[in-house]
Structure 1
Amino acid sequence: MPRLQKKQKLEGNVAALTDEAAGDDSLTSALDILGTDELAHIFGFLPPNDIMRARLNKKMRDAAKTTIVPPVEFIVDSVDKYNSAAAMASAMPNLQQISFSELDSRHKYIDGEDPDEHTARFTTNWITHDIEIISNFRMLRSLNIETEHFLNGRYPFLFNFPLLNKLSITKSWDLKWDLEELARLPVLKELHLEWNPQLTGNINSLRALKDILEKVEIIDCKKVEGSFMDLADFPHLTKLDLRDTDITGGIREIGERDFPVLKSLSLPKDVYGGYGQEFLSVSDAHDTISVLYSFRKRRFSSLLKDWSGKLSEDSPDWYDADRRAVYNPAPMYVLFVEAGSRVGYRWETAHDVPTVCEVNWLDPEPHRYSSDYEQYIEELEEINEQVDIYRGYTQPPTEDECKRLLAEFMVDLS
C-alpha cells in the first residue's frame, strides 16, 4: 500500500478513536483489536497536542509513552505551555523537538548553580518552575533555548542528551556554561549560539565532535576564544560563523586541504578577511577584497557571499557627509556583488535601501553564448538601476564631492 494511503488510513483510525462518542461500542471494539504497539505507531503520525488528547484509557496512555513523537516543534512560551510540557515529560517522554522561551510576566525557571546575584535579587519574588523536566525527554533530537533572564546560572542537565542533533541557545543572558559541555552531545550536527555573554571556552573543545559537526554558528559570544583553524580538518563542516567572538586567525591561513566541504564562512571583524573588517584606507579594502576573491575562486563561489567590510572612522578617508542625519549618507561600506557568475564589489551606505557606487568588476563579462548570459544581463540591469547619486564613482568620493552630489540630488528631487 502506498505510504500516503497508509498514513491516511492510520489518521482515519485515530479520528475514529478520538471521536466525541468515546463510549460507543465501535470505539470499544476498535480498542480491543488494536494493540499498544499498533496504537503507538498510529500516534506517531500526530503532533504532540493531539497525542495527549488521544490518551483516553490505560492502553492509549501506555501507547503514548512508547510513541516516537514526530519532529514537530513544541514551544514552551507561557505557563500553560510549561504545564503541558511537564505533563508530556511523563506521559510522552519520546518527544524529539522542544523550544524554551520566555514565560509569563514574573515567572522564571528555578535558578541553577552559581546564579548571577543581581538577576537573582531582581527576580527573587517571581514564581519559579523547574526546567529539569526536560531531562525526561531522552529521545530529544532538537533543543532550542531563548530565555533572556529566565535561566540564571549553570544547568548541567541541558547537555545530557545522547541523541541530540541540533542545539540552539540564543539571548540567554544569564545562562552560564562552557563549550566543553558539548562533548556530552556525541551526535550533535548543528550548533547555533548567539548573544550568550556568559558562554566561555576555547573553540578547540569542538574537536570532540570533529567527525559529526556540520554547522557551527557562534555569534556575539565574546568570551569564546581560540583559533578557528582548529576546525580546519573537520570533514563534514559546511558552515562556520564566528562573528563577534574572540577567535583569532585569518583567511590567509587557510590551505588547499583545509575545510574540505565548507560553503559558508564568517570570521570576526578583527581578523584578516573577517565579517565587518575595518580598513584604514580605500586601497586597503581593495587589497583585502582581491585576496578574498582569489580565495572564493579556489573554493566554493558562495563561501564569502555575505562578506562585508567598512572604512574605519580612524581612516583619513572617512567622513560623515551629514552629521544631522540618522545614517551617514556617504558610501563607507564595501561588499561583494554578483550578476550571474560574474563577481565584483562596490561601496555603499549602511541604509536598509543603500545608496550605492558603481561596481568594480573582478571577473570579465561572460560570453554572450554562455549558459548564464541571459541571467547576467538581467541581474546587471537591476544592479545598474540601483546607482543614482554616485553614478560614475567606483569608490567613495571625497567629502566635498559627496556633499556636492547630495546637494545636487536634493535639488533634482525638488
Structure 2
Amino acid sequence: MIEHWQQVYRHLHAHPELSGEERATARLVADELRALPGWEVTENVGGTGVVGVLHSGPGPVVWLRADMDGLPVQEETGLDYASTVPGVMHACGHDVHVAALLGACEELSANPLPGTVVALFQPAEETGAGAQSMLNDGLLDRFPAPRIVLGQHVGPLPAGLILSRPGTLMAASDSVRITFLGKGGHASQPHTAVDPLLMAATFVVRMQALTARQTATAATPVLTAGALHAGTRPNIIADSSEVLLSLRTFTDGSRARMIEGIQRLAEAEAAAAGAPQEPKVEFYDHFPVTENTPGDTERVLAALAAASLPVMPMENPITGSEDFGAFGAAAEVPSVFWHIGGMDPARFTQDDLHYMLTESALPPHYPSNHSPRFAPDPAQALPAAITTMVTAARSELTRP
C-alpha cells in the first residue's frame, strides 16, 4: 500500500490549505481512515481536526499526532505535483506527516496489539492554535485518555535519520507586530513629516543588540525580522509602518526579558524620532517550549534503535517551534517528539554530514522547512516515517 500513500502525499502536496482552512484535507483523512478496518472516525474536532480511534482490547492508550496545514508560500520546486493553489504550499512537510500517519494507521489495524491507538490529525499548527483548539473542543473528555503522546516532523536530512533528545527539544515562539505611527508628507519635504519607515528600519538594525546581550544564557534567543511594510510610492512619506518579528526563546526568564526589550526599544525609537504617538506592539501566535519527557524519550529512542532505525542524539535544542507539547501537558502524561529526515541520502556528501554533526545545522545550500524549494522525497521519506511511527507506537503498546 506504500504506493497508495505516495499518491495521497502527492495529492495533498498539490492541494495545500492554510491554517484553520484544512477542510478538503480533513475530508480526505476521514475517508482514508474509514476505509481501514477497525477505525472509528470523528470529524470537525477543534474546527477541522480529525480523530481516529482503534480499539484492540484492554491495554495502554497511545496518541499519535500529525499536523495538516500548509503555508502562505509560493512554491518553486518545479515538481510535477507542485501546489496548484497560488501563494500556498506545503513548505513544512505536513503533507508527509498526514500521509505517514495514515500509513501507520493502516499497519496498526492490519496487525493490532492489545490497547488503543488514537490518531490525531491536527489543524493550524503553523499559527500555534490547532492543538489548543482540539483540546478546547473536549478532546480529553471525548476520546480515550493517553498514557503517552508521540509525534514526528520531517526535515531536510537524509531519509529515515531520527534526531531527538530528552528535555527541551524546541524553542518557544512568539510573533510580534510593531506599528510605528508617524506623520506623512511629501518626499521632497521630509522636515515637515515624521518618517515611520525610518523608525522601522532603525529599529530592525538596533534590535540585534537584544539577542547579543543574552549570549551568556544557556540557549541564546533568536529574534528575526520577517517583514517590513511601509508606503505606496517613492515620493510619499507614509503615516505608518509595520514590522513583523519572530522571537524564539528557551526559558520563561529569557522570553520576559526579550519582550520587555522589544517594547522598550520600539518606544525609544519612536521617542527619538519625535513620533506623535507611541508605537503599537502586539504579541500573537505563541508556541510553548517543546519538552520531551526524560526517561520516556530515552525508552522510545532505544526501541527505535533496537529496530535498526538510525537514531542520532541531539546535543542542543533547536530554535524551531511546535504546539505538539500542548497535548501531553493538558493530559499530564509524557510526550516524545522527534525529527526525521525526508531527503534522498545520495544528495548528502560526507562534507555535508560532517557539517551537520559539528555545526548542528543544515548546510547552507539545502532548502530548509518554510523554503519555497523545500521538497521531501516521498519514495524514501514515507516508508521511513511510517516505519518509525509504527515502531514507536508498538513499543509503547507492548510496554507493561
TM-score, with length taken from structure 2 = 0.24
User: Which is bigger in relative contact order (C-alpha 8 A, separation at least 6)?
Assistant: 2
TM-score, with length taken from structure 1 = 0.24
The structure where strand makes up a greater share of residues is 2
**Which structure's CA Rg is the greater one?**
1
